[in-house]
Amino acid sequence: MSDLFEIYESDFQLALQEAKSNLAQASSANGEQRKNHLRAIESATDEGLEVLEQMGIEVQNLPSNQRSSYNAKIRQYKSQIDDSKAELKHLLDDQDRNELFGSRYRDEESGGLHDDQRRQLLNNNSSLDRSSQRLQDSQRIALETESIGGNILNDLRSQREQISGARNTLLTADNYVDKSMRTLKSMSRRLTANKFISYAIIAVLILLIFLVLASKFW
């Protein structure tokens, strides 16, 4: 499994746990504290969806025979996030309904509210740190991909030069073959001509022999 996928999976579990924790607390909270929990749930679910997108990108870099199990795991995580978002929508609908009919939330004691806001700020800061880490990981992957692409382009350029050299060599060899063929044809024509000349000389010699023999008998 990809190490980066495991990091994303850990970040997702943290975001999902944060959403579930705030869902449990929001159900019994009132006033500003309830709103803070709802905002925390929305932030955690959005973060979870963002992590799932990064996990999906990472799965594409895995061998095709390993993707099915990871895609199934991503679908399961997506279902869990959808459940959290559905519960969040239900809570938001209840809040909108209460506000529409004029219900008022009571503020919690100032000390408790301060602690809740402090906890919310810490959660947000943790989410920002994880998002920053994911951005750095994505930038690193982009740089590695760019480097690999550059190496591939260099290899292709070198192969193109080799192919061009081989093509030039073939063209040169083809020229030599053409010259050799022309030379062979010329030699063949000369051999044929020499053969006819030889036959003609032999015929003349035979004719002369017959003439000499004939002159002796006359």
| Residue 8: pLDDT over 50 | yes
| Residue 201: pLDDT over 70 | yes
* 66 DSSP 8-state letter: G
Residue 117: what pLDDT? Answer: 64
b/e for 26-63, b at 16 or more Cβ within 10 A? beebeeebbebbbebbbbbbebbbbbbebbeebbeeee
3-state helix, strand, coil in the chain (%, to 5): 90, 0, 10
Is residue 71 within 8 Å of residue 59, measured between CB atoms? Answer: yes
Q: Is the dihedral of CA 122, 125, 129, 135 positive or negative?
A: positive
| Residue 4: pLDDT over 50 | yes
Domain boundaries along the sequence of the chain: 3-146
Is residue 132 within 8 Å of residue 49, measured between CB atoms? Answer: no
Query: What is the average per-residue pLDDT within 85-92?
Result: 81
Please report, for residues 149, 176, 190, the alpha-carbon distance to residue 49 in angstroms, rounded to integers and kept in the order given. Answer: 29, 68, 87
Residue 100: what pLDDT? Answer: 57
Question: Tokens representing 95?
Answer: 């809040």
Question: Considering only 62-66, 97-101, 141-145, 187-191, which range has the smallest mean pLDDT?
Answer: 97-101
The CATH architecture of the domain made up of 3-146 is Up-down Bundle (1.20)
| Residue 135: pLDDT over 80 | no
Query: What is the average per-residue pLDDT within 105-124?
Result: 56
Reference 42, options 10, 78, 84, 77; nearest CA is 84
Ordered DSSP codes for 78-96: HHHHHHHHHHHHHHHHHHH
Identify the band that residue 146 occupies on the pLDDT scale cut at 50, 70 and 90.
Answer: confident
| Residue 211: pLDDT over 80 | yes
| Residue 54: pLDDT over 50 | yes
Question: Tokens representing 110?
Answer: 């100032």
Identify the band that residue 107 occupies on the pLDDT scale cut at 50, 70 and 90.
Answer: very low
